Structure 1
Amino acid sequence: MSATLFSEDLKTNIKKAERMLIGGEWVDSATAETIAVEDPATGAVVASVPAGDARDVDRAVDAARTAFRGRWSRLTPQERGLLLWRLADLIEERAQELAELESLDAGMPIGEARYVDVAFSIDILRYYAGWPTKITGDTIPVSFPTNFGGPYHAYTLREPLGVVGCIVPWNLPLMMAVKKIAPALAAGNTVVVKPAEQTPLSIALLGELVLEAGFPDGVFNYVTGYGETVGAALVEHPDVNKISFTGSGSTGKTIIKASTGNLKRVSLELGGKSPNIIFADADLGKAIPSAALAIFACQGESCVAGSRLYAHRSVFQDVVDGLVEAAESIQLGRGLEATSQMGALISAEHRDRVIGFIDLARSEGAEILTGGTVWGENGYFVEPTVLTNVRPDSRVLREEIFGPVLTIVPFDTEDEVLELANDTHYGLGAAVWTRDLGRAHRMARAIESGQVWINCYQTVDAALPFGGYKQSGWGRETCKESLDEYLELKTVVVGL
């Protein structure tokens, strides 16, 4: 491993992940087992983190419950908001260190880690830092029954749920964790965070910054381990009041079933197979590079990747040529190298899965215009890949690949492409490129998706609701509406 890339700060921060944070203390796991964390760009093991079990989850939940009933509950809303803002400041001060951890751990280019993952995490925290003082109830006039006493004074309270389990995926791990903990803490809950076993490194540094910011002990806890042990124990725990999960649809369904023991709240941000639609009148100078970014950013390991591109037949070849050129211009390399534009996939297993989809498409007669193979001798790279002539029933067109694989399909009419766009059990993201204002709004209304972008793709903001229709999940993240996922509504009626 190159010494110029493996800085002293990076070594120090990796070391932090060798222990877990429970009740404000850095502790060892109840087991002696560890999980090897790889650099996906090289396949080299860069860290060993504790393989926790249900006993560690019990300790973390107990600490979170104690904090929830203790000092944390006595802080004013303004004090909670100031702590969140202070955490954002500390992340900003350590942004480069966090970006290095994310790049090393998840394989993404350092620029994406710094100016997307870390930067948006800061923005989310500052957004939610303003909300604790604005979580209010209502006064409600009582009209019925008029013949049973009264008058009455009725009002509502919005109260925190208690302990929230945050299960974080391996893509953009810092941002995905912050999207869960920020509204949970703003609402007055405490959290137990379970990072993905592939990408735990940045969450350890986040835990250190939580302590430095001054949060009471036990408000933020994190336990490393496998999904079938730590994740399952967190979901099934009777003292966990809510689970916030981001990941695959199959795991999401398992979580729903496992959460029924105490009927805990569940919010799910699951997969996507997002349509990106380019009409004949679109500005191709903007649409084509945006379509490339929509699928090849983050190695395609994004739930809202624009993996299904539909181009009007009159501009189909121009769009295809532009996307092939864009794909072939991307420089692959280790994420920590400043010149890299696309990094490695998360693991050998996932690389092989992505290649398996490409091989399947090839066997079905799809045309691979560029890419389609493993890149390099080390690590888990897959070339940016563009496919055409894909069968309508092909798994490549219907299932989430979660890699740098783009299918391009021609269409002739608005009705036709709308049917194609909605022919999926996902509904997370979609985009429409057109200069026709009426068509843009018609399509936005008709597409079955949690968010629709017009003449742009994946524009995000902490104030914008993020979530999906159909099997893309339950609930929303970011935005003011997400706070409802972390609050109970209580009605109080007083006879006067």
Structure 2
Amino acid sequence: MSEAKQVGQLYINGTFKPAEDGQTFEVLNPYTLAIIGEQAEASEKDIQAAIDGAVQAFRTWKQTTAYERAGYLRKLLHLMQTREREIAEVMTLEQGKPVAEAVGEVRYAASYVAWYAEEGIRVTGDLLAPSQTDSRLSVRKIPVGPVGIITPWNFPLAMFVRKIAPALAAGCTVIVKPAEQTPLTAVKFFELIHEAGFPAGVCQLLTGEASKIGSAWMASSAIRKISFTGSTAVGKMLMRQASETLKKVSLELGGHAPLIVFDDADLDMAAAGAVESKFRNCGQVCVATNRVLVQRSVYDAFIEKLMKRTSALTFGDGFTNVDMGPIIDKQGFDKIVAHVDDALAKGAKCLLGGKPAKGGGGYLFEPTVLTDVTSAMRIAKEETFGPVLPVFVFDTEAEAIQMANDTPFGLAAYCFTENLSRSIRVTEALEYGMVGLNTGRISAAQAPFGGVKMSGFGREGGRYGIEEYLVTQYIATVYKES
């Protein structure tokens, strides 16, 4: 794709527009570090206009039927399917992931639109048994109100689509704030929103300084729900701020996923699962494996299979036929280097990689495998968010469970075993919101995505995801008998 400079605008009340004060910020290609575009930076007036528009549109959008809302979502789905390559190329340009992987993300995002076009129709209430003959007691589910959505850069389309699809299906209006590193994918998607004909104000796009936009949303009593994906530290801050207006909040925060390989596992399947989980999107995945725990008796055999698969990975420009692209920015790159250096200084061994790679001038890091890793190392406790796989050893099932749960986070975990009884014991003992058994890939539109402990709360996906955008209303009716 050509790196012709792109200019992205805001989308407020059904219109693409520059920022009120004309301010923009630069967007970089993380592989070449070239400036590929400029994006409008929302002013305070723009933010307030979006809030006002969302409130106004909610008055009528919530009155539409679930079938009408499904119609809009189906139009959007069709546009996503017919324009997937176009969206994917913009994603690769600003985020760096290989185009084939970006196409996969578009399809994954589209699966949520397809699901919620149908799930909105299935939202129901209840009729309760009355306590007297002249009364009726009913319960209905109603949309919570205008929603603010804040998402990171690692999945610049899927992260916000799997939030806005259930919100729209539920009858909420939405304002999306994507990451500053990857706004152009969101702009491209909003072109499809516009083409699908959603009423003005139902879907809005604000880009720019996160603290400015987020602070305005948190202070506004008109924004009734915040859905955030990002760091635990920011999630805690948003939760504190939400208390002032008692907003409903969903938080998908940091993780530190273990992948346990028992001595009865299919080692080829386990090695494939570890590589798929760890190195997809260059390790920049919230559910990526952060620690591989291997039972001692199969340790050497597993390492051999893991090394064979990992050493075959290619990396470079996402527009070429590679498995991995670059790290998103210098901050992320420096954290990876610091984790590896700390581990090596404390006695870890590097079997593969372990250093920056050359290419394009950007932030490439070689696929890396570390062994002799201990709990004293930073990489054992902190989320690396890069293509580094540390391997630990354990002896007993109880030890594996203890090691896996020894973290304040609880987003995703993985387990490989062919023993039915062990699979039940271990998966139910893992303190995580999601567990993959004999697989390194767990996300699906029909399944509840989310964590526990310091990984947040709330779910995205399936019938569970739409509940996040609904509130329960109870109506007691007394009527006159003829």
Q: Give the structure-1-normalised TM-score.
A: 0.94
Query: Which residue is equivalent to 1:341?
Result: 323
Q: Aligned AA for 2:25?
A: I
Counterpart Cα distance in 2 of 1:54 and 1:439: 56
- Give the superposed CA RMSD: 1.4
Deviations 1:73-120 (A, max 9, x none): 3422101011111101101110001111111111111111112x1011
Counterpart Cα distance in 2 of 1:169 and 1:322: 33
Counterpart Cα distance in 1 of 2:410 and 2:62: 38
Residue 333 (structure 2) pairs with residue 351 (structure 1): yes
Q: Aligned AA for 1:484?
A: E
Query: Which residue is equivalent to 2:29?
Result: 39
Q: 2:390 aligns with which of 366, 382, 407?
A: 407
Unaligned runs of 5+ in 2: none
Q: Aligned AA for 1:106?
A: Q
Give 3-state SS (helix, strand or coil) of 1:36's partner. strand
Counterpart Cα distance in 1 of 2:434 and 2:62: 35
Give 3-state SS (helix, strand or coil) of 2:215's partner. helix
Counterpart Cα distance in 2 of 1:475 and 1:393: 32
- Number of matched residues? 478
Residue 28 (structure 2) pairs with residue 78 (structure 1): no
Give 3-state SS (helix, strand or coil) of 2:410's partner. coil
Q: Aligned AA for 2:116?
A: Y
Query: Which residue is equivalent to 2:453?
Result: 470
Q: Aligned AA for 1:482?
A: G
Q: Aligned AA for 1:30?
A: E
Q: Aligned AA for 1:453?
A: G
Query: Which residue is equivalent to 1:107?
Result: 96
- The 5 Å alignment of 1:204-219 reads 204-219=187-202
- The 5 Å alignment of 1:224-303 reads 224-303=207-286
Deviations 1:299-351 (A, max 9, x none): 100000011101110111122222223222111111111x1110001112211
Q: Aligned AA for 2:222?
A: D
* 8 Å CA contact 2:31, 2:317 repeated in 1: yes
Query: Which residue is equivalent to 2:116?
Result: 128
Once structures 1 and 2 are overlaid, which stretch shifts more, 209-218 or 29-38? 29-38
Query: Which residue is equivalent to 1:186?
Result: 169
Query: Which residue is equivalent to 1:418?
Result: 401
Q: Give the structure-2-normalised TM-score.
A: 0.97
Counterpart Cα distance in 1 of 2:306 and 2:24: 43
Counterpart Cα distance in 1 of 2:345 and 2:299: 24
Residue 20 (structure 2) pairs with residue 30 (structure 1): yes
Residue 362 (structure 2) pairs with residue 372 (structure 1): no
Once structures 1 and 2 are overlaid, which stretch shifts more, 357-366 or 431-440? 357-366
Residue 243 of structure 1 and its aligned partner are, at CA, apart by 0.5
Residue 307 (structure 2) pairs with residue 317 (structure 1): no
Q: Aligned AA for 1:162?
A: G
Deviations 1:47-94 (A, max 9, x none): 111222332211111111111113x23422101011111101101110
Q: 1:490 aligns with which of 473, 476, 479?
A: 473
Once structures 1 and 2 are overlaid, which stretch shifts more, 251-260 or 315-324? 315-324
**Deviating 4+ runs (over 6 angstroms):** none
Query: Which residue is equivalent to 2:52?
Result: 62
Unaligned runs of 5+ in 1: 144-148
Counterpart Cα distance in 2 of 1:160 and 1:310: 43
Query: Which residue is equivalent to 1:429?
Result: 412
Residue 150 of structure 1 and its aligned partner are, at CA, apart by 5.3
Query: Which residue is equivalent to 1:221?
Result: 204
Give 3-state SS (helix, strand or coil) of 2:300's partner. helix
Residue 125 (structure 2) pairs with residue 137 (structure 1): yes
Residue 206 of structure 1 and its aligned partner are, at CA, apart by 1.0
Deviations 1:35-54 (A, max 9, x none): 11110011111011122233
Counterpart Cα distance in 1 of 2:212 and 2:316: 34
Deviations 1:351-394 (A, max 9, x none): 11211111111121211111111111411111111111122132
